[in-house]
Structure formats: structure tokens, C-alpha cells
A and B are shown apart, each in its own frame.
Chain A
Amino acid sequence: QKEVEQNSGPLSVPEGAIASLNCTYSDRGSQSFFWYRQYSGKSPELIMFIYSNGDKEDGRFTAQLNKASQYVSLLIRDSQPSDSATYLCAVPDTGGFKTIFGAGTRLFVKA
């Protein structure tokens, strides 16, 4: 059974700090990785995807991928209280058709 692992948190950071969210995956052949944000009581929405080793930046968000270590992370710079949400890591299953979601990490940004 292929797995996507995340620390459930909660991760608490002060406003303006960098929040670092981590995800490990078991499928060594995985090629694409997605980060979704889910506010409480709402549905997930995509914030970042990454295909290549290294970093990908989009505004305050940076995704980092290390395929050798089977590790993908999301950094949120200058964290804002509005960033408080659950962040889901999602990895398509290379052996089938489904996308496997991690359990998510809850982030709290304190004003």
C-alpha cells in the first residue's frame, strides 16, 4: 500500500515567521506532487505543484522536492493569520490512477 505521510501538527508559528510543512512518500517512481490548502469546513484548493527536483517559488510559497529522499516540503514565508488551515500533500499513484492524499498538517499562525 503506497503511502503519503505528513505530521498532523498542529504547527504553530507567529505572524511573519516561516512555516515549514513536510511530506514523505513511499512510491519511488512518483513524478508529480501537489499541495492543497483546506480551510476548516471548506474543500481543498490547489496552491502549488512541483515536478522537478529543487525549489519552485510562487509568491510567499516555495515547494521543495528531493526525489532521492522521497521528500517534498512547502515553505510559507511571512506567514499570515489567513494562512491558518490544513495543508494536504497529494501524490498520484504511478501504479494506478488514483491520487493519494496525506492526512494533512494543521497550521496555526498567531497574530
Chain B
Amino acid sequence: EAGVAQSPRYKIIEKRQSVAFWCNPISGHATLYWYQQILGQGPKLLIQFQNNGVVDDSQLPKDRFSAERLKGVDSTLKIQPAKLEDSAVYLCASSFGTERETQYFGPGTRLLVL
């Protein structure tokens, strides 16, 4: 079974630039998550999709971050404009059903904002 795919793996940008990350979940998984993990901290949920719909985006900085999940499958997360404090690893995860089930994580995208 193929795992969660993410791209790019690494990205370096300057502040105020924009960046986009892509995620393809495990086939058949209804729930997709985007997490931000700052060095030394646990993952923080940015947005959670159940199929096409958003079920939680309470911690997403909506003035600069946006996300969509096309046709209930893959997803993109965008930051525009980026700030220095956005430097982090962005993890995509998926689960078959709800968040009360095992989440499978992708390899992550390491973002450095200069």
C-alpha cells in the first residue's frame, strides 16, 4: 500500500514570497490533515478535511494560509505572503475515517523562510 505522498520535500523562500505544498493521501482515506511542526514542538493541526469538506481550521492563519482538497483526494496548502515564523515542517496525514483512528503521516515538507 502506497503511503502519503508530499512534495516538495524542501523549500527555501524569502519572506513575503508565496509557497505551495501538495499532498496525496493513502487511497481510500476520507480524512486529510495538514500539520505545522516547529522544531522541538509537537505537530499543530492547521486544517482537517473530511472528504471535500473542512471540519476544523480553527488554528489556520487565514490571512495568509489557504488550503483546498480537490475532489476529496489530494490537497494543496498555500502560504501567501510567508513570514519568518512560518519556517517549520509541514506534515500531511490521512486516516481512513475520523481523527479517532490511526493517522498516517507523509515525509513532510521542510520550509525555511529567510
Contact = CB atoms under 8 A, between A and B. Distances in A.
Interface of A: 4, 8, 31-32, 34, 42-46, 49, 88, 90, 92, 96-104
A42 B6 CA distance: 13
A63 to B, nearest CB: 14
B44 interface: yes
A43 B48 contact: no
A99 B99 contact: yes
A7 B95 CA distance: 27
B14 interface: no
Interface centre among B42, B98, B99 (most CB of A within 10 A): B42
B106 interface: yes
Nearest to A34: B102
25 contacts: A4-B42, A31-B100, A32-B100, A34-B103, A43-B91, A43-B105, A43-B108, A44-B91, A45-B105, A46-B103, A90-B42, A92-B98, A92-B99, A97-B50, A98-B58, A98-B99, A99-B33, A99-B103, A101-B35, A101-B42, A101-B43, A102-B42, A103-B41, A104-B41, A104-B42
A97 B103 contact: no
Interface in B77-114: 91, 98-100, 102-108
Contact of B43 (A88, A92, A96): A88
